[in-house]
Amino acid sequence: MQKLERRNTYTPRNTSLVPGNCDPVIKHGQCDQVLQSSKTLSNNSEENQCQHTDRPTVIVYVLHQDGTPLMPYKPAKASHLLKQKKARVVSRKPFTIRLSWDCEKNVQPVTLGIDSGYKSVGLSATTGKKELFSAEVTLRTDIPKLMKERRMYRRQKRNKHHWYRPPRFNNRMKEDNLVPSIKHKLDSHIRLVEKVKKLLPISEVIIEVANFDIQKIKNPNIFGKEYQQGEQSGFWNTREYVLHRDNHECQHCHGKKKDQILQIHHINGKSEGATDRPEELLTVCKTCHEDHHAGKDIIPKKGIKQFKPETFMTAIRWKLVTALGCKHTYGYITKSGRIELKLSKSHINDAFVIAGGSNQERCRPFFVKQVRRNNRCLQINRKGFKPSIRKKHYRLQPSDIVRYNSKEYVSKGCHCKGASIVIVNDTEKLDVNTKKVELVCYGKGLQFRSWLKPGVSLDGAGEAL
């Protein structure tokens, strides 16, 4: 069948078949605006089809009776099935239903594109005609801090209670040889792929990998044997190099305090992720160093370029491809495809290009945040009282969806030893008794938040996508 193209004619508004509702506008000299707005557009124009429109496609994910993912439905069809009791809701975010009868498992090939990263991950699942899933996931970055906190608790317990078990500092797994923070991010990528595979019949997975040359980033002119002869070549240790770099002079007072004793100072503290790299060290005199830690003369901090994302991608790229058993692509291919489609730089658009996206109809994206399921935090803001120690796992956790007075709220957390809970929605914030609220669904570890106007629901069965 021949497709319609753009028509160069205008729809007449001043004929006898149509009442003269445009006459007042034409009389006031606005005829050109009316004619311009009356153009009949082509039905197969490719303009802006790859951009997110004001009303992107909303879909409902569907599972078979045995839990196998099927092709998604439109909200109208899903609402019709829910009214006839032919399906039930199994998840609210993303909105997923499960059929109650044995239907045919006719599915189409679906390609999942993954834009992996250190802090954010882009996901996009596409077919030949449309995009079925799009999300940007923000991963956790608090793992190193929590590991230090756990070490503090264990050392206190060991020293205070004379614990008989000696410390074990070499109990890491030998297979992958990854630190806990990197291991957690690697596992998070795998969990995200498994999550999407539970929603859609994924037939192929493609991930973007990258290998970064840190020395080349620092020094673009490095070549040959210069890789073996780094900036600290010829010095005994890092301290000697930092002193030589700073000309054996205090970089804070520049010799004004006339203190001959020099010390090495970390520009940023341990809470900012300080390391022993020369870029993060500074030569100061003993007087300035002591005044800084006493709070008298603070040495200012400054932003230092960190290479954690680059190191992470270099370390896990092939481990991720092997664990997923998928295909891989490279960043320059993604960049060229994104520029060709005239898309802005984002994790969602990169994942769309990786999945083979071209002129498919885009869907409404998700913003997903990864959070902790539990915590060991103490409540210390008790207005002069001693900290409250949580002795049990509360029934309601932060980000859980609850119902109070026939309205739905999001839990911000319990206090008063679990007797009260703080709940919020788009208009109000309440502090109510825990017994008066009803749990709707748990927040879990992945918080799906759709870019959708508040209050939109699907047949009263819960918040849509």
Residue 182 falls within a domain, yes or no?
A: yes
What is the rounded average pLDDT of the residues 9-13? Answer: 43
pTM attached to this predicted model: 0.74
Q: Tens digits of per-residue pLDDT, 417-452?
A: 788 999 998 889 999 999 999 998 887 788 887 654
- For residues 87 and 99, state if they share a domain: yes
Q: Tens digits of per-residue pLDDT, 130-152?
A: 999 999 999 998 888 888 888 88
Q: Tens digits of per-residue pLDDT, 217-275?
A: 888 888 888 888 888 888 889 999 999 999 999 999 888 888 889 999 998 877 777 78
Residue 258 falls within a domain, yes or no?
A: yes
- For residues 362 and 320, state if they share a domain: yes
Percent above pLDDT 70 for the chain = 77
- For residues 456 and 359, state if they share a domain: yes
* Band of residue 334 on the pLDDT scale cut at 50, 70, 90: very high
- For residues 266 and 200, state if they share a domain: no
- For residues 41 and 174, state if they share a domain: no
- Report the mean per-residue pLDDT for the chain: 79
Residue 226 falls within a domain, yes or no?
A: no
Among the candidates 270, 294, 318, a domain finishes at 294
Residue 227 falls within a domain, yes or no?
A: no
- For residues 266 and 277, state if they share a domain: yes
- Per-residue confidence (pLDDT) for residue 197, from 0 to 100: 95
Task: Report the 3 state secondary structure along the chain.
Answer: CCCCCCCCCECCCCCCCCCCCCHHHHHCCCHHHHHHHCECCCCCCCCCCCCCCCCCECCEEEECCCCCECCCECHHHHHHHHHCCCEEEEEECCEEEEECCCCCCCCCCEEEEEECCCCEEEEEEECCCEEEEEEEEECCCCHHHHHHHHHHHHHHHHHHCCCCCCCCCCCCCCCCCCCHHHHHHHHHHHHHHHHHHCCCCEEEEEEEECCCCHHHHHCCCCCHHHHCCCCCCCCCCHHHHHHHHCCCCCCCCCCCCCCCCEEEEECCCHHHCCCCCHHHEEEEEHHHHHHHHHCCCCCCCCCCCCCHHHHHHHHHHHHHHHHHCCEEEEHHHHHHHHHHHCCCCCHHHHHHHHCCCCCCECECCEEEEECCCCCCCCECCCCCCCCECCCCCCCCCCCCEEEECCEEEEEEEEECCCCEEEEECCCCEEEEEHHHCEEEECCCCEEEEECCCCCCECCCCCECC
- For residues 58 and 40, state if they share a domain: no
Task: Provide the number of structural domains found in the chain.
Answer: 4
**CB of 403 within 8 A of CB of 460?**
no
Residue 220 falls within a domain, yes or no?
A: no
Residue 221 falls within a domain, yes or no?
A: no
- For residues 36 and 142, state if they share a domain: no
Residue 224 falls within a domain, yes or no?
A: no
Distance CA 365, CA 450 (A): 7
Domain containing residue 431: CATH number = 2.30.30
Among the candidates 246, 265, 294, a domain finishes at 294
- For residues 162 and 84, state if they share a domain: yes
**CB of 206 within 8 A of CB of 112?**
yes
Residue 342 falls within a domain, yes or no?
A: yes
Strands 61-63, 95-99: pairing kind? parallel
- For residues 154 and 41, state if they share a domain: no
Domain containing residue 192: CATH number = 3.30.420.40
Domain that holds residue 411: 375-444
- For residues 322 and 384, state if they share a domain: no
- For residues 55 and 28, state if they share a domain: no
